[in-house]
Amino acid sequence: MSNEKIIIVGGGGAGVSAAQAIRSVNSTIPVTIVTKESIKPYFRPVLTSLLESLDGENKKGFFVKDEQWFLDNNIEFITDFNVAKIDSENKTLVNSNGMSLSWSKLIIATGSEPLVIPDAFRHRKNVFTVRTIEDTRRLYNFISGVSSVLISGGGLLGLEAAWYILRRGITVHVSEYFKRLLPRQLDEDGGAYLTDIISKSGVKLHTGACIKDFSGETYLDVVLDNGEELKAGCIVYSVGVKSSFPELTPEPPKLERGIIVDEHMRSSIDNIYACGDCAQFGNFIPALWMVALKQGETAGKNAAGGDAVYQHQLYPAMLKAFDTHVMSVGSIEGSFIENRTANSFMRLFHDENGNSKGAWCIGDPQRATKLIKMVKDSSPAESSVFH
pLDDT exceeding 90 applies to what percent of the chain?
85
CA distances from 226 to 9, 229, 232 (A): 43, 9, 17
Q: Contact 295/16 with Cβ under 8 angstroms? A: no
Give the domains, in start order, of the chain with CATH numbers.
Answer: 6-113+241-303 (3.50.50.60), 127-237 (3.50.50.60), 323-386 (3.30.390.30)
Mean pLDDT of 181-193: 96
Residue-level pLDDT at 120: 66
What gap in Å lies between CA 70 and CA 33, rounded to an integer? 10
Residue-level pLDDT at 116: 65
Residue of 46, 54, 322, 287 whose CA lies nearest to 162: 322
Residue of 197, 207, 125, 193 whose CA lies nearest to 163: 197
What gap in Å lies between CA 339 and CA 1, rounded to an integer? 66
What gap in Å lies between CA 344 and CA 197, rounded to an integer? 11
pLDDT of 281 over the 80 cut: yes
pLDDT tens for each residue of 19-70: 999 999 999 999 999 999 999 999 999 999 999 999 989 888 899 999 999 9
CA 59, 47, 286, 375 torsion: positive or negative?
Answer: positive
Residue-level pLDDT at 125: 86
Mean pLDDT of 354-375: 97
Q: Contact 332/185 with Cβ under 8 angstroms? A: yes
The secondary structure of the chain in percent helix, strand, coil, rounded to multiples of 5, reads: 25, 30, 45
pLDDT exceeding 70 applies to what percent of the chain?
98
Helix (H, G, I), strand (E, B) or coil at 271: coil
In one letter, which amino acid is 97? N
Residue-level pLDDT at 369: 96
Q: Contact 29/304 with Cβ under 8 angstroms? A: yes
Q: What is the largest CA-CA distance in the chain?
A: 69
Whether residue 45 has a cis bond before it, omega within 30° of 0:
no
Greatest mean pLDDT among 159-163, 219-223, 308-312 lies in 159-163
β-pairing, 105-108 vs 6-9, is parallel
127-128: strand order across its sheet: 127-128, 234-237, 148-152, 171-176, 204-207
Q: 123 falls in which pLDDT band (50, 70, 90)?
A: confident
Distance from the Cα of residue 242 to its chain's centroid? 10
Residue-level pLDDT at 2: 64
Residue-level pLDDT at 316: 95
Residue of 278, 15, 305 whose CA lies nearest to 267: 278
pLDDT tens for each residue of 92-110: 999 999 999 999 999 999 9
Q: Contact 205/176 with Cβ under 8 angstroms? A: yes
Residue-level pLDDT at 186: 97
Enter the pTM of the model. 0.92
* DSSP code string of 297-333: HHHHHHHTT-----------EEEEETTEEEEEEE---
What gap in Å lies between CA 115 and CA 130, rounded to an integer? 11
CA distances from 40 to 167, 267, 282, 305 (A): 28, 26, 31, 26
pLDDT of 172 over the 70 cut: yes
Mean pLDDT of 360-384: 96
What gap in Å lies between CA 178 and CA 181, rounded to an integer? 7
Give the chain's mean pLDDT: 94
Residue-level pLDDT at 313: 87
Residue-level pLDDT at 217: 83
* DSSP code string of 61-78: TSBSS-HHHHHHTTEEEE
Q: Contact 336/189 with Cβ under 8 angstroms? A: no
pLDDT of 374 over the 60 cut: yes
CA distances from 265 to 111, 270, 274 (A): 14, 11, 6
pLDDT of 1 over the 60 cut: no
- DSSP annotation of 244 reads -
